Structure 1
Amino acid sequence: MARVRQKRKPHAEMNVVPYIDVMLVLLVIFMVTAPMMNQGVKVDLPKVGSEALQQDNNAQVLTISIKADKTFYWNFGKEVDTDAKSALDKALTLPQMTAAVKGIMGENSRQGKSVQVMLRGDKTLTYETVMAAMGGLQQAGVGNVGLITEAP
């Protein structure tokens, strides 16, 4: 009796374990380097020796940044934007900033949400510029403004 040989087909399966290893290494690298990246509007903050204030966890935070050339930038989110990761790359004038803040404040008051407004000003700005910004914020319906400084 003759034996019948079966043809064996090659087993073509790709081993994905090395690819998963590479992806995990890349993920770890990005997780480690992402917090170190500093992007956004560069503002030279004044240095003041004070403690950080408690933040209301339920409130949205609107961070207004003023550069030395008196241009305004803003960021709106859950956290204070101390690293200037600004949502807008477009520079605004004082009237444009006032109108934008007025819209944000109006929308949030209709939804019953509270908004904390924080002001980041370059240390070379004049008192007049900071007061003009605070006046614009007051016209936009902001009652309280926090000032962001750097620790010495």
Structure 2
Amino acid sequence: MRTRKKRKLKAEINVVPYIDVMLVLLIIFMVTAPLLNLGVDIKLPQSTAKAVSVPKEPILIGVDKDGKFYLTKSGSSREEMSADDIVKQVAAIVRQNPDVPVLFGADARVPYGQAYQILPGLQAAGVTKVGLMSQPLQDSK
């Protein structure tokens, strides 16, 4: 009769599959990162108004051509939110720092009423000054 040798069990984790998965994810993220659209395409109305110098990093509120609202706080990326959520967040920031500038820009293709719906909420929340953004007037030569 043959006797079998008993093997000792190994209590080690095989990390090779985890490394493979990590490398595949790294490649996927490296390929898709440049494809992400970080900005929102807004075609601002044109104006002859002079540019305003802003001493602090402003809070930007934007409305794209589809009527979606976006908030960009100082030092952070643009987030899509509802108008009520934007009003709450901007009101909280302005309560902490009343001197922070608030700028509002809407795509020229958005109906006025849809873009306007956020302004009364900002006023009721205590935001006293809201700047309206526009593009410089293009010379048609």
TM class by smaller structure: 0.5 to 0.7
Query: Offset at 1:140?
Result: 2.2
Q: Does 1:138 align with 2:123?
A: yes
Equivalent in the alignment of 2:50: 51
Gaps of 5+ in 1: 1-37, 79-85
What one-letter code is carried by the residue in structure 2 that aligns with 1:127?
Y
Q: Which of 87, 91, 94 is matched with 1:102 structurally? A: 91
- Quote the sequence identity (%): 27
The RMSD of aligned alpha carbons is: 2.1
What one-letter code is carried by the residue in structure 2 that aligns with 1:62?
I
Contact kept in structure 1, 2:60 and 2:71, CA below 8 Å: yes
What one-letter code is carried by the residue in structure 2 that aligns with 1:87?
S
Q: Does 1:61 align with 2:58?
A: yes
Contact kept in structure 2, 1:105 and 1:140, CA below 8 Å: no
Q: Does 1:117 align with 2:102?
A: yes
TM-score (norm 1): 0.58
Contact kept in structure 2, 1:98 and 1:139, CA below 8 Å: no
Contact kept in structure 2, 1:116 and 1:145, CA below 8 Å: yes
Gaps of 5+ in 2: 1-36
Equivalent in the alignment of 2:134: 149
What is the distance in 1 between the residues matched to 2:129 and 2:81? 21
What is the distance in 2 between the residues matched to 1:61 and 1:88? 13
Q: Does 1:87 align with 2:87?
A: no
Contact kept in structure 1, 2:67 and 2:115, CA below 8 Å: no
